[in-house]
A and B are shown apart, each in its own frame.
Chain A
Amino acid sequence: MKRRHWQLVAAAVMALAITLACGDEDGPTAAVPGTLVLTLTTPNADDGAILFSISGGGIDIPTSVVASNLLFHRLTGTASMNAVVVGDIAAGALVSFEVPDVGAAPSYSATITEVADRNNALRTSLAGYSLSVSRE
């Protein structure tokens, strides 16, 4: 009888431990692959090309959100990519890309390097421009 009691106690403790370990607040969570989106903020309505870089791990399969825009990209390292989008660019979702864990979205960032208007003139100032990263 005594032996059975301890077995039950041990099982109960284990169950509690498991319960605690798998809880939302304090327990470890699994990576969730998914898509992140770069959203453009621009002070102009006639942007024609934008050159930018993305930082973050495991960036893959970038895609132009606007089908009529052209996207070219190049991995520059394990956690960086250069890309250029050409077209009639407007504020809003610009590019989507795959990441291994959408939960890590805050760790991704994008930096605009150059912007040209639709007459191919280079913007002399990038004030007011930004690219934000968010989950799709």
Chain B
Amino acid sequence: MFRRLLCLAAIVGMADAGEALAQKPTTKDPNQERARLFYKWSPSHTLKHSPVLSAAVVNESEPNDGPASADAVSLGDQGTGDVDPSGDIDYWIFSAAAGDILDIDVDASQVGSPLDPMLELFASDGVTSLAFNDDYDDLDSRIQYTVQAAGNYYMAISGFSDMGGPGYFYSINFNLLVCDDSGYLETEPNNEAGSADAVNLGDVATGVMCATGDVDYWSFSAPAGTTLDIDVDAWAVGSSLDSFLELFDSDGVTSLASNDDFDGLDSRIQYTVQATGTYFIAISDLGGRGGPDFFYAINFRTLVPGPGDPTTVFASGFDAPAGLAFDRAGNLFVADLFLEQLWRVTPDGSASVFATGIPGPLGIAFDGFGDLLVAGNDGIVYKVSDTGVSTAFLTQVDCPFWIATGPDGSIWVSDICADRIFRFDAFGALQEGFDVSSVGGVSFLAFSPAGELHFSNSFANAVFKLVAGQPQLVFTGDQFLEGFAFDVNGNLYVPNEIRGRVILYGADGTVLEDPFALTVQSPVALAFGRDADGTTNARLFATDFGAGAIVEMNPAGISAPGWPVGVELLVVSPDALPDGVVGADYTALLTVTDQGVTPTWSVIEGALPPGISLDSGTGVLGDYPTEAGTFAFRVRAESGARFGEKDYSITVTEATLAVTDVVNAILGVDGVLSPDEERYLDLLGNSNGVFDVGDFRAFLEATGGLGSAARLTDHALMESWKVDHGLNSGKGAQ
């Protein structure tokens, strides 16, 4: 799945996907991958082995540019010639019997010729192309082909891109391969289930892919519940075989599992059979190649189940389940990659589509406010409402893959294109990006009980933790360490999609149980369950990508509850605070929406407006501001282990006072200024707690009354100031 996800990232044309993917494991188109799983083997012929040496050397005789003028050779001969002039094609004709295994091998570039040859085999009509090869031994060509019917065949040799000329020499060896299986346990023909060679569990089978298209079938019996471990050794012991292994059910047709590469190029299948019966293993070369050096051994082993076995299917009906996360009510949410759906699974296992329309949903997580976040392969992290409506939330990540919510409510997203981990605050503001390209990038994320972000690299063969912004190796392991989960003790449960198992690692990377669970086909991600009250429990679930199901590990084998994923932040209210006026009484009340929670309040970033205070016990913002300005700050509410934060901004303005009121006030008219206004004037002046003549002077300064430029104008105004006692007993007027 991991490879498929990477490929999907490329398919959607993410900006840096191509460059980044070049550093990733080999990628395959998911459709091709699926097609390969259902590939049916075509029958081939009984094979012997070892080539036949050349019997004669035949030099070309121009013109030989077509079937009609082809130079004749016999199998075992060597033809020699030149591709000259440019665009020249030399035809050779030979006869072969049905079942012959041709090995037509050109030597040119490898022996110093400038020729980059191309070979094409034609049927007896000289027109029908049977096989073609450009490069096999570096630039030199080679065709291996099993003849279906006796007759004459034509071999055409030419230069790549019509190259040719004097000195473009070549030799072409018309070898005949015969199979000799005496050195191996296989007995040809064994190219289909009906002719499979029989082995027993515990045996080691050996064979060789003599020619192109060869496939060997092996049959064995296994009782229900047996976990098979079918392990190929070929590439690792010097064979040219790039093995592809497929397990078939008792009918010999139904594919149960397959694998290309497990140990390097060697294949391995681990699978738990559900019913007692005969099963079949087919092995072939991935590219359909063959030859005497394409030998192999297959170990037919069984595995002992782990403490997490047997697993049970909790929910099914998915297509390609990837990320999963539980909400605080115990409902499970699942990202279905190919159907592009989000599923909601109730505690009783009932699954229903929750949301659609998010392209390629991958990792999912709940943020600190209980909102579901989903990484789409369109470069967007979506937020999904509780009614299933999705909106773009984070757009700064090129290729968001996995999401983890930190203990402080921060949101962490892995970027598989940029090899970076991005940290956002709980509200979605980008805080920082961490370059982890030095350790092979990043894929899956999870927080440990110590609050440290752990991640697997893009090869998913090592787990790191981010310490002071730098990756620090925790342990290395098998490839495909995927969506892991921590228990409360810091142990890691790690799914291995390819090996079809869950492995339990200690906090230091020590393998505690391998397997922890085997009875799961291709687990991609794990999550501990949650009870209806939100408590994280000791039930462990996995998305089984191959089976399209959610499986639960045997709870009897789980020693400790899971470490809670993310955090449930207290929701701070109100959304905004009222603005203030210098000197004016200010009152606002902070609360949390959670019933029955009485948090302790504090300001953790920024600062309240000077003069405003926050009562840590009640959440009351009180007193009065003493300075004008805009003041941004973040409040934090804490109640036990829970907390919430919210950003606020309060704008404090100067009081707007009529000059007449201020003048009247200083001249003894009662009631023209409110206590807030008198306090404002005092703050403007000498802040001695009363409104006095010093404050009055300060007011004139602040309003320009004492300014040199304003004075002349104001002077006339001020001098004309006169309040007629009889007419202005109240607020007064000019």
Report which A residues bind B (CB closer than 8 A).
Answer: 48-51, 63-64, 67-68, 70-77, 82-84, 86-87, 113-117, 120-122
B697 A116 Cβ-Cβ under 8 A: yes
Say yes or no: A121-B666 contact (C-beta < 8 A), given A68-B711, A74-B723, A76-B725.
no
**Within the assembled complex, what's the spacing in Å between the Cα atoms of A63 and B723?**
14
B283 CB, min distance to chain A CBs, angstroms: 96
A84 B666 Cβ-Cβ under 8 A: yes
A47 CB, min distance to chain B CBs, angstroms: 10
Contacts A/B (CB < 8 Å), 22 sampled: A48-B697, A49-B693, A50-B693, A51-B666, A70-B711, A70-B714, A71-B718, A71-B721, A72-B718, A73-B723, A74-B664, A74-B667, A75-B724, A76-B668, A77-B725, A82-B668, A86-B696, A86-B697, A86-B700, A114-B693, A120-B686, A120-B701
Taking a contact as CB atoms closer than 8 A, the residue among A68, A76, A77, A120 that contacts B694 in the complex is A120
The reply to whether the CB of B285 lies closer than 8 angstroms to some CB of chain A is no
A70 B705 Cβ-Cβ under 8 A: yes
The reply to whether the CB of B698 lies closer than 8 angstroms to some CB of chain A is yes
Within 8 A of A (CB), among B670-698: 685-686, 688, 692-698
A73 B667 Cβ-Cβ under 8 A: yes
Say yes or no: A84-B696 contact (C-beta < 8 A), given A71-B718, A75-B723.
yes
**Within the assembled complex, what's the spacing in Å between the Cα atoms of A95 and B439?**
85
B692 A72 Cβ-Cβ under 8 A: no
A122 B667 Cβ-Cβ under 8 A: no
Q: A75-B725, A76-B668, A114-B692 are in contact. List 10 more A-B contacts (CB 8 A).
A: A49-B694, A64-B719, A73-B723, A74-B663, A74-B668, A74-B725, A75-B724, A82-B668, A84-B667, A84-B693
A131 CB, min distance to chain B CBs, angstroms: 14
Taking a contact as CB atoms closer than 8 A, the residue among B663, B667, B719 that contacts A63 in the complex is B719
Count B-side interface residues using an 8 Å CB cutoff: 31
Say yes or no: A82-B693 contact (C-beta < 8 A), given A71-B719, A116-B686.
no
Interface string of B653-674 (1 = CB under 8 A from A): 0000000000110111100000
Q: Which residue of B lies closest to A124 (CB)?
A: B688
B667 — which chain A residues lie within 8 A by C-beta? 72-74, 82-84
**Within the assembled complex, what's the spacing in Å between the Cα atoms of A105 and B714?**
31
A74 CB, min distance to chain B CBs, angstroms: 4
**Within the assembled complex, what's the spacing in Å between the Cα atoms of A67 and B231?**
107
A84 — which chain B residues lie within 8 A by C-beta? 666-667, 693, 696
A120 B695 Cβ-Cβ under 8 A: yes
**Within the assembled complex, what's the spacing in Å between the Cα atoms of A40 and B321?**
93
**Within the assembled complex, what's the spacing in Å between the Cα atoms of A84 and B724?**
16
Say yes or no: A73-B721 contact (C-beta < 8 A), given A82-B667, A86-B706.
yes
Interface string of B700-719 (1 = CB under 8 A from A): 11000110000100110011
B719 A51 Cβ-Cβ under 8 A: no
Say yes or no: A72-B663 contact (C-beta < 8 A), given A86-B700, A121-B686, A122-B686.
yes
A49 B696 Cβ-Cβ under 8 A: yes
Q: Which residue of A lies closest to B666 (CB)?
A: A84
B699 CB, min distance to chain A CBs, angstroms: 9
A75 CB, min distance to chain B CBs, angstroms: 4
A70 CB, min distance to chain B CBs, angstroms: 5
8 closest residue pairs by CB, A with B: A116-B694, A74-B667, A120-B694, A75-B725, A49-B697, A114-B693, A51-B693, A74-B723
Report which B residues bind A (CB closer than 8 A).
Answer: 663-664, 666-669, 685-686, 688, 692-698, 700-701, 705-706, 711, 714-715, 718-719, 721-725, 732
Q: Interface SS of chain A: helix, strand, loop or mixed?
A: strand
A121 — which chain B residues lie within 8 A by C-beta? 686, 694
A122 B693 Cβ-Cβ under 8 A: yes
A67 — which chain B residues lie within 8 A by C-beta? 715
**Within the assembled complex, what's the spacing in Å between the Cα atoms of A121 and B687?**
9
B711 — which chain A residues lie within 8 A by C-beta? 68, 70
A60 CB, min distance to chain B CBs, angstroms: 9
**Within the assembled complex, what's the spacing in Å between the Cα atoms of A51 and B693?**
7
B686 A70 Cβ-Cβ under 8 A: no
B106 CB, min distance to chain A CBs, angstroms: 102
B723 — which chain A residues lie within 8 A by C-beta? 73-75
Q: Which residue of B lies closest to A48 (CB)?
A: B697
**Within the assembled complex, what's the spacing in Å between the Cα atoms of A97 and B725?**
17
A116 — which chain B residues lie within 8 A by C-beta? 685-686, 692-694, 696-697
**Within the assembled complex, what's the spacing in Å between the Cα atoms of A74 and B585?**
30
B701 — which chain A residues lie within 8 A by C-beta? 120
**Within the assembled complex, what's the spacing in Å between the Cα atoms of A118 and B204?**
104
A73 B722 Cβ-Cβ under 8 A: yes
A77 — which chain B residues lie within 8 A by C-beta? 725
Taking a contact as CB atoms closer than 8 A, the residue among A70, A74, A117 that contacts B700 in the complex is A70
| B693, B706, B732: most-surrounded residue (chain A CB, <10 A) | B693
B719 A70 Cβ-Cβ under 8 A: yes
Say yes or no: A115-B732 contact (C-beta < 8 A), given A72-B718, A121-B686.
no
A64 — which chain B residues lie within 8 A by C-beta? 719
B697 — which chain A residues lie within 8 A by C-beta? 48-49, 86, 116, 120
Q: Which residue of A lies closest to B659 (CB)?
A: A72
**Within the assembled complex, what's the spacing in Å between the Cα atoms of A65 and B663?**
20
A83 — which chain B residues lie within 8 A by C-beta? 667
Say yes or no: A120-B666 contact (C-beta < 8 A), given A70-B719, A74-B732, A86-B706.
no
Q: Which residue of B lies closest to A83 (CB)?
A: B667
A114 — which chain B residues lie within 8 A by C-beta? 692-694
B504 CB, min distance to chain A CBs, angstroms: 74
**Within the assembled complex, what's the spacing in Å between the Cα atoms of A10 and B168?**
171
**Within the assembled complex, what's the spacing in Å between the Cα atoms of A83 and B696?**
12
**Within the assembled complex, what's the spacing in Å between the Cα atoms of A63 and B725?**
18
B693 A115 Cβ-Cβ under 8 A: yes
Q: Which residue of A lies closest to B668 (CB)?
A: A82
Q: Which residue of A lies closest to B664 (CB)?
A: A74
B487 CB, min distance to chain A CBs, angstroms: 67
B660 CB, min distance to chain A CBs, angstroms: 10
A75 — which chain B residues lie within 8 A by C-beta? 723-725
Q: Which residue of A lies closest to B667 (CB)?
A: A74
A35 CB, min distance to chain B CBs, angstroms: 16
